[in-house]
Amino acid sequence: MEHIRKTNEVEMNEKMTKRVEDIDNLTYTYLKGLLELGETEAEEKFPWNIGILREVSEEIVTILCRHGYEVCDPYISMPESGRQYRCTLSECRCESCGCQDELMEKERILSKIEEAVALGGLKVMDGDHESIIVRESRSDMDFEIHVKRLPE
């Protein structure tokens, strides 16, 4: 009885989406300034290209973080062998989050476990918001791994 785990599509919330749109717009404005283009001229010579904007903004975020600045740059993590989750404080290095009311730390931990399980040669069979079911193929044995937040 083999089940293939169905991964729910994770989406950005309204605040995260607004922040990403603001970053894209500010990056575009910055690049138009560097290129010395007005609005009308930019439409023709430097049309909106999300690939360029994201490449530039990612480099800027990397540089600012390397120099010790905290930058809120929301994203959805989409690992190959783990589950999706919204960015968490443990990864973005911000002290607090103004974009999310509820962080997906448990999902991040489950995703990391799924990645490790896949690297170890086990197969992820199923799972939910608190557990993962894995199969050791040589022995054909299934195991359930639980993640539960401890009370503070």
Does residue 13 or residue 8 have the better pLDDT?
13
151 in a structural domain: no
pLDDT at residue 6 is higher than 80: no
pLDDT at 152: 83
CB 93, CB 64: distance < 8 Å = no
pTM for the model stands at 0.74
2 domain residue, yes or no: no
In this structure, is residue 3 part of a structural domain? no
- pLDDT on residue 90: 79
What's the confidence (pLDDT) of residue 2?
36
Which residue has tokens 């290095």?
93
**How does pLDDT run across 78-131, given as a tens digit for each residue?**
887 678 888 888 787 678 888 887 788 888 888 888 888 888 889 888 888 889
Give a yes or no: residue 152 inside a domain: no
Q: How many domains are there within the chain?
A: 1
* pLDDT score, position 3: 36
Q: Report yes or no on 119 lying in a domain.
A: yes
- 133 by DSSP, 3-state: which? strand
> Is 8 part of a structural domain of the chain?
no
- Structural domain range at position 137: 14-146
> Of 113, 119, 116, which Cα lies nearest the Cα of 146?
113
CA atoms within 13 A on the CB side of 88: 15
- Return the pLDDT at 8: 64
How distant, in Å, are the alpha carbons of 15, 29, 51, 92, 143 from that of 24? Answer: 14, 9, 10, 18, 44
Q: Which helix (H) or strand (E) holds 44?
A: helix 39-45
Q: Does residue 19 sit within a domain?
A: yes
Tens digits of residue pLDDT in 14-73: 999 999 999 999 999 999 999 999 999 999 999 999 999 999 999 999 999 899 998 999
Domain annotation covers residue 117: yes
